[in-house]
Amino acid sequence: MPAFGDPRARIVIIGLAPGKQGANRTGRPFTGDFAGGLLFATLAKFGLVEGSYEGRADDGLILRDAIILNAVKCLPPQNKPLPEEIRTCRRFLQAHVAQLRQARIFVALGQIAHQSTIKALGGKLPKARFAHLAEHRMPSGKIVIDSYHCSRYNQNIGRLDAEMFEAVFARAVALSR
């Protein structure tokens, strides 16, 4: 799945993998699935989008100072990638991150994205434990901020709401300046 967003972004959003009804179907991360509604509304609130999200890859939406990557490149069965898939895809994440010269803040959506991001940036997992709104400074000085994934499941069970998600991006924007 290709990245979506501004190649000069300071904020990098790391998702899990292409969703069956979202990116795997539409070709653009978080587009056409439930999670995209909250993500793009939140990004708009913080001035990181131009245009409006309509759930289609051709809706004209553009990200400003933000880019979306995935920890896993292909659609995993039951949306649960195997450890081998995660390890295999990490090299693609590392390569893409290396191209993002201005990237300073990484928002990891969920535990798998957190683990892959920490490892891709040279951090150590025992020291960098996943927790919503946790911040982890990497050896390079880059910062990873954790968030629960904006999935339908997490929203439906109340693990994540708009206010909690906005707090993550408020912090990311503040640190990126």
Identify the residue with better confidence: 66 or 31.
Answer: 66
Give the pLDDT score at 132: 98
Average pLDDT over residues 139-161: 97
Average pLDDT over residues 33-59: 95
Q: Which CATH number fits domain 4-176: 3.40.50.2300, 3.40.470.10, 3.40.50.300, 2.60.40.10?
A: 3.40.470.10
Contact 77, 19 (CB under 8 A): no
Longest Cα–Cα distance of the chain, Å, equals 42
Give the pLDDT score at 5: 97
pLDDT at 19 over 90: no
pLDDT-derived band at 26, boundaries 50, 70, 90: confident
Average pLDDT over residues 151-169: 97
Domain boundaries in the chain? 4-176
Question: Which residues, 6+ apart, have CB-to-CB distance to 177 below 8 Å?
Answer: none
Is the overall model pTM greater than 0.85, yes or no?
yes
pLDDT in tens, 100-127: 999 999 999 999 999 999 999 999 988 8
Give the pLDDT score at 22: 64
Mean residue pLDDT of the chain comes to 93
